[in-house]
Structure 1
Amino acid sequence: MILNALRGFFLLVIVSASTSAVQAGQTTQIDRLYGQIEQRLSYMKDVAAWKWQNKKPIEDMDREAIVLANTQKAAEAYGLDGPSTRAFFMAQIAAAKFIQKTHFDRWQTNGYDGGSPPDLQNKLRPAISQSGDNILALISLALPQISAAKDGDLIADLSLPKSFRVDMAAGLKQIYLNEKASTGRYAEILYRGALRVGTTGDYAPFSTGGIGNRSGIDIDLALSLADYLDVRLVFVQTSWPTLLEDLPNYDIGMSGISIQPFRQKVGYMSAPYHIGGKTPIIRCANQSKFASMADIDRAGVRIIVNPGGTNERYARANITQASLVIFSDNTEIFDEIVDGRADVMITDAIEVAYQAARNPNLCPALPDKTLTVAEKGFLMPKDDLLLRHVNRWLARLKDE
């Protein structure tokens, strides 16, 4: 289990390192939106080829009505006012039909050369639908830039006749957040232009260092999330005892936070990005002395815990004989074990693996066992749209 924690640690390091690389080549949300619009239109040659081979007309008014209805419904999930997206997607449909007609006209003149296209129902439409969903997500992210852009600058670089670009730009300008989303934390982040990330700075390998010198897995992930949202990153100091109390002062907590019901009562937790559990760490010299939890939970044993987090909660709920030593400085707590002022700390397996790898005097007491199973996620206010975008960003990282 400890080995798995180390593997998980190195996996997270690889992920976080890749997120840092993103910073070097930042693109704006408008650029990403244009790329996704072009992606959606790129399917139209294959759509035209399928219709040509199956002797189907380019225009399908019933299908267009379904697409527009589905799009308006999907838009609401991204905090957009559904009806306000109609003009933009109608302009996209018009552009799609123009591209298809261009291919039809060429094939009628020069003969068909479209090859064997993918199936429309099973391959092309799901891909087009996914692209449409990505466009909605990017519009939701890019609204401040769309609002600020001059009409002539929007959609200017797409390879389409000017009339289509003008209609798409006008459609984009009409889109706005729905009433619920416009008053939520996500909208505040977007229009503030900054993401405030709460971190404790005392939990390696997730978050360490001072407020101006943070480092760790979650710090790299915070950089990646800010890049995804296309906003500045601001770190806010918090602590384990005040993590929930401080939530109004930051937008998302990223510090190796365990997903727990008591936290979910106050805020939302993202999809998990790490799975682990609690396990004890001791001085290596005491491995034969503390070979089981029965050895650890007995009179005379000093179990050290940092206050306010799940380590203290676990110890208070499960330790009945050993004495608890509360130590508030999480950055120095392992020195208390090394120097003999405490015997055991029960903490997350990834932290045990990390500390044991750094200090030859520290060892896991139960190398192949965790006492709990716990997932880590990111803590945020109860804002549906913020949660949706954070989970979308996480899913993209996993896919990449």
Structure 2
Amino acid sequence: MKVDVLAKKEKWITVEQGNICTPNGFSAGGLHCGIKRKRKDLGWIYSQVPATAAAVYTTNQFQAPPLKVSQESINTNGTLQGVIVNSGNANSCTGKEGLQKAYKMREVFAEKACLNENDVAVISTGVIGEQLPMNKIVTGVKSISALVNGYDAPSFEEAILTTDTFTKHICLQLETESKVYTIAGAAKGSGMVHPNMATMLGFVTTDINIEHEALQQALREVTAETFNMITVDGDTSTNDMVLVLANGMAGNEKWTQDDEEYALFKEGLQIVCQSLSQQIARDGEGATKLIEVQVNGAVTAHDAQVIAKTIVGSSLVKTAVFGQDPNWGRIVSAVGYSGITIDTEKIKVMIGPILIVEDGMPVTFCEEEAKSYLKNEKIDIVVDLLSGSEHATAWGCDLSYDYVRINASYRT
């Protein structure tokens, strides 16, 4: 019997001023080391004790050297105590030299934090194909002044950004009669974002004590419904990962998948990851709107996911939303080429509260009302296949003129 059994009535609440340093035992920070011209470009997370670690990685075959080094660290003991991140340079497609530099980055931070090298994860993001300026990184790491007791999460959030226009974070807490549990997250992501890890990084800290296998399983399942359900431009990057650190400093007995607390933990992780996913989708390069596509009535969950991602990833749907054009034909077309077999005579489509297709046929609707709705910053598209009970939700953004401008000049 658990000492602190969680009741069903207990719920996760948002901590408005919380961040990745809010869970017990975590510190973080960021600084400018010179990879970028002015903005912060080197960040770190530190746990007072070894934290159970779980991660998911990009599906791009060109996995960058830092990912390989981080996987090696996590696979050694299933724990981490430090994370070092640089932005402005992805250290990707850099060969053996790039791999050695990723190891060097891990070595230098481990020495600074008085940790074993396998206690450290290394992450890089930015321009692909350029060697890391190791002298700048080494100098930056050595200049960290508040590693153990530095609680500067905003600087960490800034240091991991590339083309992002705002930082992304969330913090939740759950209070029982004897303990307070906290889960918090930070992320970066703006462009080159597509389901199955995209150019995005996610960091989650929690003071909950949870078994490694349970943590990895929860992250894998939650990622499938959150980070893997966002798209900005259809490109999957080489460096992306989501990392969860659980240091157990809340003092609970270790949770496993067989414990009733596991479902509540997964619920909190789901809220954190969904919020970060939506923030990334909203910050698509040049984006002006967040698009949420919900597909209902599918035969399988997979069918619903594929159709939802196809719609939100359609360039024609994206541009129609940007232009405030209720062009329902583009939505129906995306459903049709998704590769999922549907009954075309059953499909129902709504843009916000406005019914535009029923039984596979267009219905009369007020064009001006639809255009007015498309002026909102969040656009909901609901598709009902009326063929089953499964559903899925995907998130993306519109495609504006600025997307081309930003990506045409990214390296210069």
TM-score (norm 1): 0.27
TM-score (norm 2): 0.26
Structure with greater strand percent:
2
User: Which protein, 1 or 2, shows the higher relative CO under an 8 Å CA cutoff with sep ≥ 6?
Assistant: 1
